[in-house]
Structure 1
């Protein structure tokens, strides 16, 4: 069946950009450069400064790696397409883009949950923190996040490879993803739809609830702090983290678990741009550059 699909469809036409748009090229290029340079800077700081060799920054380094991969899977192809009228991607390239995109998405969902637990253990269980978050535990947790994302992605990509497409395969999107492909498939899409709904619960909703519960418990612990300055700092950090988490999980849920009723290609593109391209740019700012220790390490390197 997969061979038959490949003989029928050799490439997809991406219709997210209906005309050449040089100004969009500049916007996406700027976002991509900020994302790559910002996350690379965070990785370099964590590697160079021994004060940042802790579980919290270990997970932040993995988040930065994910964000670089996330953007690199989609943005370079988008940059090329913004400068061309005929925007195509090969069948194999489409499946590969889909695999790595969803793999990064699933891994980031799991990693955000692990990072929330790390902060919960540090704030609510400080005496047990070093024992709970040992280095072997951290490495297994990080590896598990990557593996979890790739296994989830492999299921969706395999099911997508079994789909048949009739005529000219025109995708109303700016990159390859499962929902846009399901809308143009000629064969039965029920297995893929079920897989998306199941994944939305186990890969999306469950980590999101875990993150929210963890931060709620952190906030309760913060309210018991005697010093107002400590409470203000903790509230500021938690609020920023929760904002990114809610935005990320909310946009991902809209993208992968939305009914076709009232579907709008423009709205779909906007949602995808927010969670695939904009949020990876914001993560180093929210999670790292607002952190006093990271700013101190940056000043030390620049001196």
Structure 2
């Protein structure tokens, strides 16, 4: 199979049939063998009914329905698990991603050998304050942190080799930083292609200001996980050791000062240095234990599903 198109969605019933017809037109005109996997992330409209209707008339259409809304990352994870195509293309269901970009993305991977090609919505039709400005800030921070020179990390339109999506684990809200996850997994040939962005035709954006905060928190998480995720003791243990040593030497100083220098009879507990030493030693011990527990968790963790599926079609 040439291409798997993975489409996560939430309450996009109005656009699904139009998107399906558009994708089919592109696939047939390029003679691709394909599958289309819709992941309904807990929609409350008739999105799932539309997906079932499309599947009944076309065996290429597959569907996964979540019991409730788990988030885009979990939807992509479910779609990636089921995707069988040599090349996997992800896109949003709101018609803002153009299916006619698929052949260009496909050729960059097949002919130029990229592991992953990320779309770049150079000209956007989103609100400047609600989406454009936060996206620019996210992308600048992600470039600085990851070393990847991409302009649009969060573009939903991307293409991957199958082995890439089978190796990375998209969790939490890490869909924004899939190129970084791929790089950390060892897939270093990552490219970018300018893609057409279209104004939303139906409904309204699901973007909220909470994603502004979550995006930066996720960036901190992915930076930490890429550097210390497999060796937490190197981070927590180092900080803990430094703090404990500082507190220990302050304690030594206080002891020597009390025994050989201080003649006033003042109690050690009345000196602020005592509480500084006590606090740093306690914090150092806690940091060290955090690193130790992290190492234990890493060695004993087991894979666990992060979502519950209520129905499937052809998968």
Greater length-normalized contact order (CA 8 Å, ≥ 6 residues apart): 1
TM-score (norm 2): 0.25
TM-score (norm 1): 0.26
Q: Which has the higher strand share?
A: 2
Indicate the structure (1 or 2) with the bigger Cα radius of gyration.
2
Q: Which has the higher helix share?
A: 1
